[in-house]
Amino acid sequence: MSAKTGKFVIWTIGDGRTGIENQVQGLAEAIGDMLPVEIKNITAPRPSLLTLFKAKKPLPEMLEPWPDVVIGCGQGSIPYTIAMRKWSNGKTLTVQLQSPRRKSRLFDLIIAPQHDRLKGDNVLSIVGATNRISEEKLLQAKEKFKERIAELPGPRLAVIIGGNSKRHKLTKELFKDLMGKLLSLSNQSISLLITTSRRTPGFVKRGLRRKFKKNKNVWLWIDSKNDGDNPYFAFLSVANAVVVTSDSTNMLTDAASAGKPVLMFRLDGNDGKFSDLHEELEKQNYVHPFTGAISTWPVEPLNETRRAAEEVLRRYYSKLKAAQHQDGDKSASDISD
């Protein structure tokens, strides 16, 4: 705890990518829903071959006193999460999100997606990824954009489009198919709330603007320069259902965490281990295939970020109790000597 503020101190270490930052900050904020916290967000530099394995010194933002918990995600964060044990003399609980591809014993806790298939006494497997979705944030976003939302009659379908990755590809043929389905829905007076990601191909963004820029039933957000503040949370808040492309763990679990029926649009490629995620979300009745029609069904919000936050606190207090017990044994030994 901070001696000055009496708050539980958390440092998050990401690499600047939105998906990574959302995971570390989302977990820290979920802990903040349970007790007063002080959060510092740190961005790790792009790792070199040397720093991939060892951080020789803390980053400029990493100043003592050390935090109660450090949460890292992304390859750049790993050396610093590992080194925090040494720098803090073992007092900081070190938490790494996603499979770090390092020995598990280097961390106090690894929180990894089930589809990473990681096992160990210090591993917590969750469905998908931690995120910043919360009822409070969704309501705040709904309030912030209420005037724009009021212009779009229900039913409303959010459409979250990813793109190319190591395993998936959004081809021109697939985009033509998706566009045809969306145009058909728009012609049925269904309001569309469409957004893209950093991986979305340029031809997709251009095609969306060309087809939907003047459509009153469509709210299209691609970038802040042309489209203003990001309404992503507002989309998730007011949508009756959400179409999500199959390439992104984050986008699929965001929609499920918002408590929305998810209609998955499959991209080309081999799902590999991500098929485990798709199957689990289908098994829990969050995901159905997107066939071109809007469909809804009752959904309870996926609450894996809260579960991860509870495990972090459980591990922290267990570690603290063990340290206090050890200090007590040392004191008793000193007296007897």
pLDDT, tens digit (0-9, with 9 covering 90-100), for 295-308:
999 999 999 999 99
Same domain, 154 and 233: yes
Quickly list H helices, 200-337: 202-212, 224-227, 232-238, 249-257, 274-283, 304-336
Same domain, 150 and 285: yes
Same domain, 102 and 236: no
Mean of all residue pLDDT scores within the chain: 92
Query: Per-residue confidence at 154, pLDDT binned at 50, 70, 90?
Result: confident
pLDDT of residue 336: 52
CB 276 within 8 A of CB 117: yes
Same domain, 100 and 205: no
Q: Please give the average per-residue pLDDT across 125-129, as a whole number.
A: 95
Q: How far out from the chain centre does Cα 149 lie? A: 25
Q: Is the pLDDT of residue 14 over 90?
A: yes
Residue 300 belongs to a domain: no
- How many structural domains does the chain have? 2
Angle of helix 249-257 relative to helix 274-283, nearest 10 degrees, comes to 20
Longest dimension (CA), the chain: 86
Residue 65 belongs to a domain: yes
Q: Is the pLDDT of residue 70 over 70?
A: yes
Same domain, 176 and 262: yes
Same domain, 106 and 211: no
Rounded CA separation 126/257 (Å): 12
The DSSP element (H or E) to which 221 belongs, if any, is: strand 218-221
CATH number at residue 315: 3.40.50.2300
Query: Per-residue confidence at 329, pLDDT binned at 50, 70, 90?
Result: low
Angle of helix 304-336 relative to helix 18-32, nearest 10 degrees, comes to 60
Q: What are the pLDDT digits (tens) for 219-234? A: 999 998 889 999 999 9
Rounded CA separation 10/308 (Å): 15
Same domain, 99 and 163: no
Residue 295 belongs to a domain: no
Q: Say whether 322 sits in a helix, a strand or coil.
A: helix
Residue 297 belongs to a domain: no
Query: Per-residue confidence at 68, pLDDT binned at 50, 70, 90?
Result: very high
Q: What are the pLDDT digits (tens) for 251-294? A: 999 999 999 999 999 999 887 788 999 999 999 999 999 999 99
> Where is average pLDDT lowest: 24-28, 228-232, 319-323?
319-323
Residue type at position 155: P
Same domain, 218 and 235: yes
Same domain, 141 and 255: yes
CA neighbours within 13 Å on the CB side: how many for 111?
Answer: 31
In terms of phi and psi (left: phi > 0; alpha: psi -120 to 50; beta: otherwise), the region of 187 is alpha
The DSSP element (H or E) to which 137 belongs, if any, is: helix 135-144
Q: Is 92 exposed, middle or buried (0-12, 13-18, 19+ CB in 10 A)?
A: buried
Q: Which residues pair with 74 in a beta bridge?
A: none
Domain of 15 in residue numbering reads as 8-131+305-336
pLDDT of residue 189: 87
Q: What are the pLDDT digits (tens) for 30-56? A: 999 999 999 999 999 887 766 777 888
pLDDT of residue 47: 73
Same domain, 156 and 283: yes
